Amino acid sequence: METVRTLLVDAFTDEPLAGNAAGVVPDADDLTGAQMQAVARELSVSETAFFVESDDADRRVRYFTPTTEVDLCGHATIASHVRLLEDGEIEPGTHSLETNVGVLDVDVAEDGTVWMTQDDPTVERVDVDYDSVGDALGIDPAALRDVGADLPLAVASTGLPFLVVPVNFLEHLGNADPDMAAVEALCESVDAVGVYAFSFDALDGDSTLHGRMFAPLAGVPEDPVTGTASGATGAYLRRFDAFDEPEAQAAPDDATGDSGSVPEEMRFEQGHFVDRPGHVRVRVGDDVRVGGRAVTALEGSLVVPEADDGDDILEA
C-alpha cells in the first residue's frame, strides 16, 4: 500500500497543542479525492490541506474536513506555508496558491509569519429571528438584540460564507451551548457554512474581539481558530462601520457595499473555550488578509487505502 508524508501543524499560535491543528500532506499528486477524504477522516482535525502541482500557480491545494471538501481554509494555508518554509521548499516572499475559489497570494515573512490574501469580500444582511439564532446557539436572545441595532446579523464571505452574530458580553458567548442540529438548520436557511459569534468583550486587552465558530454542516462542531471566518468578519466590521477610533483607516467602497473604517490591523482571539487558544491577525484594505504563525506538533507517514476506479466521494 502507498504511504504519504503527513503532518499536524498548529496554526495561529507559537505554542504546540494550541491554536488550530491542520493536517498537511505536502505531496498529494498521486492521491485521488476519495483517498484525500480518507486521510482527512483519519487525521480528524477540522481541515487537512493536500498539495498538488498546478499549471496556474506555484502550487494547488485542496482542503478536506473529516466529512467533506471545502473551498478555502485559512488556518491550513497558514500552517502549511510555515512548514514549507521550514522544509526549505519555499523562501520568504509572495507565493501563488490555486484554490477552489481561484488563485490567491500567500506572503511569507522572514520571521515565519504567513499572510493569506482571501477572496473578494461580500457581506449581506439576513432577516433571521433573534429568538431562533439564540435558541440555536444557546445564548439569551437579549444578548444578541443588545448589539443588533448597530451590528446586524449578516452573512459575510471571503471565500466561505459565515453567519456573523455579534454578542454583547463574553460571559454570554463563553456560556453558549449550541444545538448542533439547530445550527445546521440555521446555516442551511441562510446558505452559510458556519456561524461565527463574537464579542468585543475580549480576554486580552490587545485583542479586537473574541470569536467562536460552529460549522456542524462541514463536520466541525466547533473550530478552535478560524482564518476564513476571521477574514469574513473583518469585512463585516468594515461594512457596518463598527469602529469610531482615530487609528481606524478609511477604506474605499468595494463588494461589501458601504465604505467604512477599521483599524489598520485587528487581532481576533479564539479557541479558549475549547482549550486551544490562538489569535488571528486581520487586515482589511484593498483586499482582506489574515496572518499568523504556526508550529509543527506531529510528523510521520500514513498508509492510504488503494485508489478506487473513480474519484467519487460518497455522501450519506
Output the pLDDT for position 247.
47
Whether 42 is catalytic is: no
Confidence of residue 22 (pLDDT cuts 50, 70, 90): very high
Residue 149: per-residue pLDDT = 86
Q: Express each pLDDT in 117-168 by its tens digit.
A: 999 999 999 999 999 999 999 999 999 999 998 999 999 999 999 999 999 9
**pLDDT at residue number 309:** 54
The pLDDT mean for the chain works out to 93
163, 123 in Cβ contact below 8 A?
Answer: no
What is the pLDDT, as a whole number, of residue 244? 74
For the stretch 55-90, pLDDT in tens is: 999 999 999 999 999 999 999 999 999 999 999 999
Query: Looking only at Cα atoms, what is the longest distance across the chain?
Result: 60
Please give the backbone phi and psi of residue 132, each rounded to the nearest 5 degrees, phi first: -65, -40
Residue 281 Cα to chain centre, angstroms: 12
pLDDT exceeds 80 at position 248: no
Per-residue pLDDT reduced to its tens digit, 256-311: 444 578 999 999 999 999 999 999 999 999 999 999 999 999 999 999 989 875 55
Per-residue pLDDT at 250: 45
**Which three cell numbers mark 313?**
466521494
Among residues 47, 98, 184, 269, which one is catalytic? 47
pLDDT value of residue 245: 58
Domains contained in the chain, CATH given: 3-117+294-303 (3.10.310.10), 122-276 (3.10.310.10)
